[in-house]
Chains A and B, each alone.
Chain A
Amino acid sequence: MSDVASDRLGLRQRLSLRGLDGTTLLILPALLLLLAIFVYPFLYGLWLSFAPKAGGIFANYATFFGDPFQYDTIWTTLALAIPVTIISLVVAVPVALRVRLLKRQRLLTTILVLPVSLGTVLVAQGLLNYLGPQGWFSRVLMLLHLSGGPARLTHNYWGVFASLLITGFPFTFLLTLSYITGIDPALEQAAATHGANAWQRFRHVFMPLLVPGLAVAFLLSFVQSFAVFPSAVLLGAPAGPTRVISVAAYQAAFEQYDYSMASAIAMIMAAVQLVVVAIILGARALFYRGSTSGGKG
Chain B
Amino acid sequence: MSRAFGTFNALRDVSLTIERGEFIALLGPSGCGKSTALNCIAGLLATTGGAIYVDERRIDRLKPEDRGFGMVFQNYALFPHMNVRANVGFGLKMRGVAKDELKRRVDAALELVRLGNQGEKLPGQLSGGQQQRVAIARAIVIEPPLVLMDEPLSNLDAKLRLEMRAEIRRIHNQLGGTTIYVTHDQDEALSLADRIVVLRDGEVRQVGGPEELYAAPAHLDVAEFMGFRNRVTGKVTGVEGDRATISVGDTQLSGKASGALQPGSAAALVARPDDLTVGATGIKASVESMEYRGREFVGLARAADGTELVFHGSERVAPGTAVSLAVDPARAIVFPVSP
Contacts and interface: CB of A to CB of B under 8 A. Distances in A.
B80 A292 contact: yes
Contact of A189 (B64, B80, B81): B64
Contact of A194 (B44, B75, B94): B94
A187 interface: yes
A194 B73 CA distance: 12
Given A208-B81, A290-B81, A294-B80, A193 B75 contact: no
Contact of A295 (B43, B67, B75, B93): B75
Nearest to A289: B81
A22 interface: no
Contacts of B80: 187, 209, 288, 290-294
B175 interface: no
Given A186-B77, A209-B81, A291-B80, A195 B131 contact: no
Given A296-B155, A297-B75, A194 B142 contact: yes
B316 interface: no
Contacts of A186: 73, 75, 77
Interface string A178-197: 00000010110111111111
A204 B123 contact: no
Contacts of A287: 81
B43 A193 contact: yes
Given A194-B139, A297-B155, A189 B73 contact: yes
A294 B77 CA distance: 4
Q: How large is the interface on B (under 10, 10 to 19, 20 to 34, 35 or more residues)?
A: 35 or more
Contacts of B138: 190, 194
Interface string B140-157: 001000001000000100
A268 to B, nearest CB: 38
B78 A294 contact: yes
A294 B76 contact: yes
Q: How large is the interface on A (under 10, 10 to 19, 20 to 34, 35 or more residues)?
A: 20 to 34
Interface string A272-297: 00000000000000011011111111
A48 interface: no
B128 A296 contact: yes
Contacts of B122: 288, 290
B73 A195 contact: no
A190 to B, nearest CB: 4
A290 B123 CA distance: 11
A205 interface: yes
B155 to A, nearest CB: 4
A294 B79 contact: yes
A296 B131 contact: yes
A201 to B, nearest CB: 8
Contacts of B139: 194
Interface in A187-226: 187, 189-197, 200, 204-205, 208-209
21 contacts: A184-B77, A187-B80, A189-B42, A189-B71, A189-B73, A191-B79, A191-B90, A192-B65, A193-B42, A194-B71, A194-B139, A195-B95, A197-B65, A204-B93, A209-B80, A293-B80, A294-B75, A294-B77, A295-B76, A297-B76, A297-B128
Interface of B: 42-44, 63-65, 67-71, 73-81, 90-91, 93-95, 122-124, 128, 131, 135, 138-139, 142, 148, 155
Given A189-B77, A294-B80, 6 more contacts: A193-B42, A195-B95, A196-B90, A204-B90, A209-B80, A297-B155
Interface of A: 184, 186-187, 189-197, 200, 204-205, 208-209, 287-288, 290-297
